[in-house]
Amino acid sequence: MDKFVIEGPTKLKGKAVVSGSKNASLPMMAAAILTDKDVILNNVPNLRDIDTMCQLMLKLGCECEREDKTLKINCANISSDFAPYDLVRKMRASILVFGPLMARLRSAHVSLPGGCAIGVRPVNLHINAIRSMGGDVDIENGYIIAKTERLRGETIYFDIPTVTGTENVMMAAVLASGKTVIKNAAREPEVVDLAKMLKKMGAKIEGEGESVIEIEGVDYLDGVEYTVMPDRIEAGTFMCAALITQSEIEIENAPLFAMDAILDKFVEVGGEYELAENGLIVRGRQIKPTMIKTAVYPGFPTDMQAQFMAVLSLAKGTSIIEETIFENRFMHVAELNRLGANIVVSGSKAVVEGVDRLIGASVMATDLRASASLVLAGLAAHGRTEVLRIYHLDRGYESLEKKLTQLGAKIWREKQ
Ligand code: EPZ
């Protein structure tokens, strides 16, 4: 297992280039199941989760080849509907093959994802939706066993606007017979990006990005070449790096159209920014305390909560962070406190009492965004910080240590 070693505090300078979005790439890879033609995805980040999804596509009998930032997937010869536990448990987003398999093969044998550090993460909404579209779905020995004559269009209401649930139903509906209406759909930009790709393949979708999405099923979808949107969470993470080190940096390819809530909070805690030719110039100033409440899009993203908590641990005053999406997404608190932060958790709220300085120590990454939070804290902490189990971070950040080193940070990877 690898660890990151960070010498702090450091100032940052220069430019960071944002990679393609992990959470847009993963559903688009699964969408390749819907056609027997080539699906070419450009700007796909080089991440462990992408590799895991590639392995899953290969297991299904599809081709999946990477050439630099481009993935070519072809499912003409798809030969299996089986998504095994040993792959799905490594990456919960594997559940995204459920909808496409039901649409293309009319059967699916997909392991339940199981929970993860941040929560139980049920997929009941995915299963109920496919059942109401005519899927005959059983749960046996930890697997979803499902089949259908052909899915039919239905009106689906989500009591929680689930992101991958919306994506699964959208991918199931594009080849169903008749019209599907998804009510209380997720509005995340990655859902919109998937819809745009599906429409380029010939799907009939309206309302993506709104709470009601309408899909008219078609009989066939063509191949496509599509460029994945940049990763708004990676961009936001670099903004937090500028804040916590009180530096000015340039962030290239930041998807500003999808970052209102992040930009708004960034300014609220003392950041300054101006538009640059190909992105953003951001400046960290004196960190001010604030209130944060995570919400579904377009609210403040839960995937940015841990990173902002690291920043607020050095604010002049007390902040309150409320996590409303996941039931256990404060695993980074104990580790930040090991670095000298003063954070107390009570239920879904964390009270962050700003301290004058953080002091380097060994800390443990527990999940993807918690890892990012600890790396950010290490950039500002005095002395040496070691972030253990960095494989969590490799799932969702492409070459983070290289990008931070290019900005002047003293960070390197070592065997644990
Ligand atoms: C997506 O996960 C993202 N992953 C997550 O990003 C992100 O944190 C999350 O959306 C929220 O924005 C991908 O897109 C691959 P949900 P997802 O279904 O779809 C409950 C990262 O860091 N729920 O919107 O799994 C669920 O328990 C990852 O990149 C049900 O109860 O999230 C949660 O409390 C972490 N039943 C809430 O809804 C269901 O059937 C939102 O979950 C589905 C979800």
pLDDT at 252: 98
**What is d(CA 135, CA 351) in angstroms, rounded to the nearest whole number?**
45
Ligand 1 atom at shortest distance from the alpha carbon of 128: 40
- The tens-digit pLDDT sequence of the chain (416 residues) is 899 999 999 999 999 999 999 999 999 999 999 999 999 999 999 999 999 999 999 999 999 999 999 999 999 999 999 999 999 998 999 999 999 999 999 999 999 997 788 888 899 999 999 999 999 999 999 999 999 999 999 999 999 999 999 999 999 999 999 999 999 999 999 999 999 999 999 999 999 999 999 999 999 999 999 999 999 999 999 999 999 999 999 999 999 999 999 999 999 999 999 998 888 999 998 999 999 999 999 999 999 999 999 999 999 999 999 999 999 999 999 999 999 999 999 999 999 999 999 999 999 999 999 999 999 999 999 999 999 999 999 999 999 999 999 999 999 999 98
Give the span between the Cα atoms of 165 and 269, in whole angstroms.
33
**Same domain, yes or no: 64 and 111:** yes
Give the pLDDT of residue 403: 98
Q: Are residues 344 and 247 in the same domain?
A: yes
Answer yes or no: are the C-beta atoms of 345 and 333 closer than 8 Å: yes
Question: Contact at 8 Å (CB) between 101 and 110?
Answer: yes
- Rounded to whole angstroms, the Cα distance separating 351 from 73 reads 46
Domain extent at residue 125: 22-227
Strands (E), 84-176: 107-111, 136-140, 143-147, 155-157
DSSP-assigned letter for residue 20: B
Say how far apart CA 333 and CA 346 lie, in whole Å: 11
Clarify whether residues 158 and 254 are in a common domain. Answer: no
CA dist 173 → 13, 31, 78, 98 (Å): 47, 12, 20, 12
Same domain, 165 and 269: no
In the set 54, 64, 75, 116, the catalytic residue is: 116
What type of residue is 399?
A: S
Same structural domain, 48 and 63: yes
Domain boundary, last residue among 208, 227, 246: 227
Same domain, 75 and 155: yes
Are 39 and 64 in contact by the 8 Å Cβ rule? The answer is no
Task: Give residues with Cβ within 8 angstroms of 99, minimum separation 6.
Answer: 30, 126, 130, 167, 168, 169, 170, 171, 172
| Of 178, 187, 194, the residue nearest 160 (C-alpha) | 187
Q: Is 64 a catalytic residue?
A: no
Looking at residue 85, which CATH number applies to its domain? 3.65.10.10
**What pLDDT, on the 0 to 100 scale, is given for residue 74?**
98
| Neighbouring C-alpha atoms within 13 Å toward the C-beta of 169 | 36
Q: Would the CA dihedral through 14, 20, 21, 22 be positive or negative?
A: negative
* pLDDT for residue 49: 95
24 with 66: CB under 8 angstroms?
Answer: no
Same domain, 322 and 342: yes
> Which two tokens mark 193?
């990006």
> CA 228 to CA 26: how far, in whole Å?
10
* Centre of ligand 1 from the C-alpha of residue 326, in Å: 8
The residue whose C-alpha atom lies closest to atom 14 belonging to ligand 1 is 23
Last residue of a domain, one of 200, 227, 254: 227
Q: Strand, coil or helix: what is 386?
A: strand
Residue 89 — φ and ψ, nearest 5°?
Answer: -65, -25
The radius of gyration of the chain from alpha carbons, rounded to an integer in Å, stands at 21
Q: How far is CA 307 from CA 181, 238, 333, in A?
A: 36, 10, 11
Comparing CA positions, the residue from 164, 82, 68, 71 lying closest to residue 116 is 164
Q: List the 362-364 sheet strands across, edge first.
A: 362-364, 383-388, 2-8, 410-415
**119: buried, middle or exposed (CB in 10 Å: 19+, 13-18, 0-12)?**
middle
Reduced to 3 states (helix: H, G, I; strand: E, B; else coil), residue 275 is strand
CA atoms within 13 A on the CB side of 47: 26
Phi-psi map region of 296: left, alpha, beta (phi>0 left; psi -120 to 50 alpha): beta
CA of residue 162 to ligand 1 center, whole Å: 6
Q: φ, ψ for residue 269 (rounded to 5)?
A: -90, 10
Report how far ligand 1's centroid is from the alpha carbon of 405 (Å): 31
Residue 316 is classified by DSSP as: S
Decide: pTM greater than 0.85: yes
Alpha-carbon gap, residue 414 to 384, rounded angstroms: 13
**Token pair belonging to 325:** 């999406």
Last residue of a domain, one of 227, 257, 279: 227
- What pLDDT score was predicted for residue 62? 98
Ligand 1 center from residue 163 Cα (angstroms): 6
Does 151 share its domain with 254? no
Residue with tokens 């990679």: 19
Which amino acid is located at 380 in the chain? A
pLDDT at position 258: 98
Q: Are residues 257 and 157 in the same domain?
A: no
Contact of 12 with 245, CB cutoff 8 Å: yes
Q: Return the residue whose CA atom lies nearest to atom 24 of ligand 1.
A: 162
pLDDT for res 118: 86
Q: How many domains does one find in the chain?
A: 2
In one-letter notation, the amino acid at residue 224 is V
Residues 274 and 406 in one domain: yes
Q: Indicate whether 105 and 82 sit together in one domain.
A: yes
Regarding whether 332 and 315 lie in a shared domain, the answer is yes
| Burial per residue of 131-159, b for 16 or more beta-carbon CB atoms within 10 angstroms, e otherwise | ebbbbebeeeeebbebebeebbbbebebe
Position in ligand 1 atom list of the atom nearest CA 325: 34
CA–CA separation, 148 and 140 (whole Å): 17
**What residues does ligand 1 touch, defined as CB less than 6 Å away?**
22-23, 26, 93, 119, 121-126, 160, 162-165, 186, 302-303, 325-326, 368-369, 396
Beta strand 63-67 with 70-74: parallel, antiparallel or unpaired? antiparallel
